[in-house]
Chains A and B, each alone.
Chain A
């Protein structure tokens, strides 16, 4: 029972976490609609966070996406994410990865009282694109411009994360799994629950992605 209390509370409190939306540019004009399931590990359980997204290939090297966090919405917080991925270097050899830059913004709006927060982010995705199953590495940095509003001075400006995953992409769909090391610069504390990180630092998460190519 205690485990489930930890799970529930954790899923509510670590609501901001999510997986990489796109790891490589879509084809120009392509639309991709999908969802993510998963989250950080709290009290030995991977949190069942969910989100939906749509991505669009603006050009052959640039894609943008918009996502909504459905778990947050259930708790009356509208969490939206807009982001863009731009290819910096294509993959030229089987062993040579592609290099993509990502940037965008996460916004949170309380449907209770209208409280609003916005967190810009930048990152990179490094996928090996030669095969249909594509391994990738990446990192992301969230910036908290309102960190000074945190109670008792516990906020921080920079929130980094590292991730690695696999994506299978065919003509019709994309499926993937990703593991993430969330904010290895700090500990997370949830009452009556334990947040597992790598080496007890930060939090580790696992996410599943399913998307349809249109």
Chain B
């Protein structure tokens, strides 16, 4: 009896003394680093004018219900901020890398679709990435960060009909979720999901083989197929058949779930998770520009 009692007490102590870990801590690759956005030579394929590169702070507000504190984020805008009230703007939610530094070229590429500085482009670092205060703790904190970026654009005069959102890999989580929920300062009507994940449960089940719920390991709960089923706007979907980070079969379910006004898919053979590099930068840019003009 004493032995049993000792066992129960030990198990109870373990239960309440173990650290509270989350699977997203090792998965997210954001690190603190200085920003570096070099102005390219004018002959570069994606030139930018130095006076059209703006690095600034936005405030991601607290979400008391989900225990999310307020955080100051860093954002980058390419173009004339004063023209946001008139320009079409691309909001680029980057993938899982250290910071916006890693996406300087695709952001410049987007700004130059159809001509030099043809579009305004905004990107930002999620909590815990680059100089943004952190950490990201789940889809709730990433939603707050997206709202902060949308609020900046809204405050500067952007309307829903001139907004295009690109969610690349990790960025597909908040952008896809918000496209379905439509609860932010701006409503997404044009969305590109590039190499998206599918659901947190799928990741968990694909790794364990069992029907486990993602809540066993993480607060990062998302289901992009469910979000796409709620999204009424236009969808462009990019994926490579050799993507070993976001498996193609499940990502395809995200595309299939969309029943909105228009959708277009590019499933490219032989391309992995680095879609733009794998497919070809020119083809990538042409497909996006074509979708924007649709």
- Residues of A bordering B, CB below 8 Å: 4-5, 8-10, 12-16, 31, 33, 52, 54, 66, 68, 70, 72-78, 108, 110, 112-113, 115, 117, 119, 142, 144, 146-152, 154-156, 159, 183, 186, 188-192, 195, 214
Contacts and interface: CB of A to CB of B under 8 A. Distances in A.
A38 B203 CA distance: 22
Contacts of A117: 210-213
A81 B18 CA distance: 19
B76 to A, nearest CB: 26
A210 to B, nearest CB: 16
Contacts of A16: 208, 210, 212
Interface residues of B, number: 43
Given A152-B202, A189-B244, A189-B247, A14 B208 contact: yes
Contacts of A113: 213, 215
Given A9-B23, A54-B3, 18 more contacts: A13-B23, A13-B208, A14-B207, A15-B208, A54-B7, A68-B14, A73-B15, A73-B18, A76-B20, A78-B15, A112-B215, A119-B210, A148-B211, A151-B201, A151-B205, A152-B253, A159-B210, A191-B203
Given A68-B14, A73-B18, A144 B23 contact: no
Contacts of A192: 244-245
Contacts of A151: 198-199, 201-202, 205, 223, 250
A148 B209 CA distance: 12
B236 to A, nearest CB: 22
A66 B7 contact: yes
Contacts of B209: 156, 159, 183, 186, 188
15 contacts: A10-B207, A16-B212, A66-B7, A70-B18, A74-B21, A78-B15, A113-B215, A144-B210, A151-B198, A151-B205, A151-B250, A152-B253, A159-B210, A186-B209, A188-B206
